[in-house]
Structure formats: structure tokens, C-alpha cells
Amino acid sequence: MGAYILRRLLLMIPTILGIMAVSFVVVQFAPGGPVEQVVASLTGQGGGNEIGGGQASDFSGGGGFDSGANSRYRGAQGLDPEFIERLEQQFGFDKPPLERFLTMIWNYARFDFGESYFRDISVVDLIVEKMPVSVSLGLWITLISYLISVPLGIRKAVHDGSRFDVWTSGIVIIGYAIPGFLFAILLMVLFAGGSFFDWFPLRGLTSENFAELSWPERIIDYFWHLALPLTAMVLSAFATTTLLTKNSFLDEIRKQYVVTARAKGLSERRVLYGHVFRNAMLIIIAGFPGAFISAFFTGSLLIENIFSLDGLGLLGFRSVVERDYPVVFGTLYIFSLIGLFVSLLSDLLYTWIDPRIDFDRRDV
């Protein structure tokens, strides 16, 4: 197992390099880079992005106007070419793409992610600032969905074809079909000061007087703010895992070793949890890394926006729109690493649940 872990760790290096290289190449062809963002902001062409407080603001009063200005950038006509050159130097675009990529990889290998283009804060501090929201949503939605999905899937498998199986399948399918953001809006209208009740808050992870509350009151306040976002996310989060659990258990229950175990007089509970559970859960564990990363980052984007929760999902989206490349690449690098390590952890859980699996005997 030690050799397998070492191989997987070494394999992460070319994987990360490939992810960053492909993303970097795509960005080179994306229109509306950071220079264009600053130019649009200064010339009033704006595309809806607010730029201020960061490095780009150093040029808000720079450069005069010249009819022979550099026009390599959209909207730059009439601006002093020296001003454009200073912008390029500020953002590092005065260097060749390969040199910029190699410099970025070297810095990232030392976990030096630089500073945001348009915010006066380092990328690491910005990510740490947004982390509590994404951690709360990601961890709780993953935990709740698995706590619901696994027991429900097992019971549906045991009672396959029964009335319980039929009506719960209907609920699961309906829940999966309803978009999470649409259900979030419904919850907001019903319970957050819409047309009916005003029971839950609509902004932030905690109240403004959170620091003044006692520990029990802080816990209540924390879950009070999370109640509606988690409810909106959990509606569809458990559907796939529930049906996957059911089908996995059904497949195992019909195998010969289960028939043999029952013939030996073992109780149904012993057969189910002593023999079937370990084999059936392998496929569930295989899907854990993807579910975790999705809930932790991308899965909460719309929910964060609807409930004004400023987390990593919203940060990543805004950074892409604003072409804030240090934040875009920094978050991509960090979450790629997290995904790879969680995937490795999933393999280790395989061997813990089923000791017959030996990754050392197979190629990575």
C-alpha cells in the first residue's frame, strides 16, 4: 500500500501540471482580459464589473490621451500607449506566455498565489475569508445527504417493489427534477420575508451580534442562517446516492454468497450489515470525492447568490467574469489538489471496507 500511495502522490504532479496548462492556454484566447477590464472601467464602457481597491486602481489617474494610442486592446483607442504598457507590466502581460506560466507554476509549488488584480488582498487571505461559507455548505450538505441516502437506499432495496419503495421513489425523482435554485426561491418567498412568513434570515452565515452571543446561542444562530440554503441543496443532493445505494444493495442481495449466508441460519440483519453492506458500499464510496468537491465548490454557486452567502463558489464565478486571473488560477490549483487527495482517500477507504482489494498488485 505504501508503494501505491507514493505512486499516486507522484502522479499528482503531472496531473496538476496538465490541469493548469490547459486552463492557462484557454485563458490566453479568452477576450476581455484584465487590461481590457481596466480600460473599460476608465473609459466608461464598463461591462458591469466594478474595479477598485486593488492593484489596478494605481492607474486610475495615469496616462494622457493620444490619437496614436496602442489599439491592441478593445476600447484602448485614444489612450496613451505608455499607460497601456504600464498596465501590461502591472499584470505581467509584458512577458511571453511560457515565461508567465512557468513563473506561476514555480510560485504555486511554493503556495505563493500572489495578490488579486482588483482587490487589495492576497489570494490566500481572500480564499480563507470566503472559506467558512463553502466549508459549512459543503460539509453539511454532504453529511446530511449521505445520512439520508444510505439508510433510505438500503430500506428501499430490502423492500424492493413494496408500496414504501414506490412512493419514496416518486419523492426522490420529484426532488431530483426540481432545480435547487428554484426551490431556494420558493423557500425564500415562503419563509424569509416574502409573501408569507419571515422566519429565517436572507443574508450571511451569522448575525451581526454573533460575537455577543453565548455558545449555545451561536450554534442556534449558525444553523438558523443555514436552514434554508441546506434545505434547498439537500433536495436533489440525496436522489442520485439513494438510487445508487438501492441498486448496489439489490445487486449484492441476489448473489450466491447471500443465499448461502441465509441458508446457514444467519439473521437478516447479520446478512445485510455483516456481508452485503461492505461490498455494496464500495460503489458509494467511489462517488464520494466528486460529490464532496461539487458540494464544496461548484454546487453552491446559485445558492450562495440567492441567499447572499459570499463563499468560494461565488468568488470563483466573479473572478472569472472580472478576469481576476490570480484568484481564478489560485482557486483552481487548490481545489484540484483537494480533489486529488480526496480521491486518494477514497481508494484508502476501499481497502478499509474490503481488505481483499490490494492496489499494490495493479497498475495505477
Q: What is the pLDDT of residues 219-240, one digit of tens each?
A: 998 899 888 888 888 877 778 7
Picking from 8-22, 102-116, 118-132, 195-209, which range would have the lowest pLDDT averaged per residue?
195-209
Tally of structural domains, the chain: 2
- Among the candidates 121, 150, 185, a domain finishes at 121
**Shared-domain flag, residues 247 and 166:** yes
Confidence of residue 212 (pLDDT cuts 50, 70, 90): confident
**Shared-domain flag, residues 216 and 111:** no
**Shared-domain flag, residues 41 and 153:** no
Residue 19 domain-assigned?
no
Residue 16 domain-assigned?
no
Residue 199 domain-assigned?
yes
- Among the candidates 121, 144, 165, a domain finishes at 121
Range of the domain at 249: 124-361
User: How many Cβ atoms from other residues are within 10 Å of residue 319's Cβ?
Assistant: 24
Query: What's the CA gap between 96 and 24, in Å, rounded?
Result: 13
Give me the sign of the Cα torsion angle 40, 44, 47, 53: positive
**Shared-domain flag, residues 59 and 169:** no
Task: For residues 93-121, give the mean pLDDT.
Answer: 87
If you count them, how many residues does the chain have? Answer: 364
Report the mean per-residue pLDDT for the chain: 78
**Shared-domain flag, residues 220 and 350:** yes
**Shared-domain flag, residues 77 and 132:** no
Predicted confidence at residue 60, as pLDDT, reads 42
Residue 86 domain-assigned?
yes
Query: What's the CA gap between 28 and 47, in Å, rounded?
Result: 20
- Among the candidates 121, 154, 173, a domain finishes at 121
Confidence of residue 50 (pLDDT cuts 50, 70, 90): very low
**Shared-domain flag, residues 112 and 205:** no
Determine phi and psi for 203, rounding to 5 degrees.
-145, 135
CA-nearest of 178, 284, 288 to 232 is 178
**Shared-domain flag, residues 244 and 314:** yes
Residue 14 domain-assigned?
no
**Shared-domain flag, residues 286 and 324:** yes
**Shared-domain flag, residues 203 and 283:** yes
pLDDT digits (tens, 9 = 90+) for 275-320: 788 778 777 776 666 676 666 665 567 788 888 888 887 888 888 8
Predicted confidence at residue 356, as pLDDT, reads 66
Q: What is the CATH number of the domain that holds 248?
A: 1.10.3720.10
**Shared-domain flag, residues 90 and 130:** no
Residue 277 domain-assigned?
yes
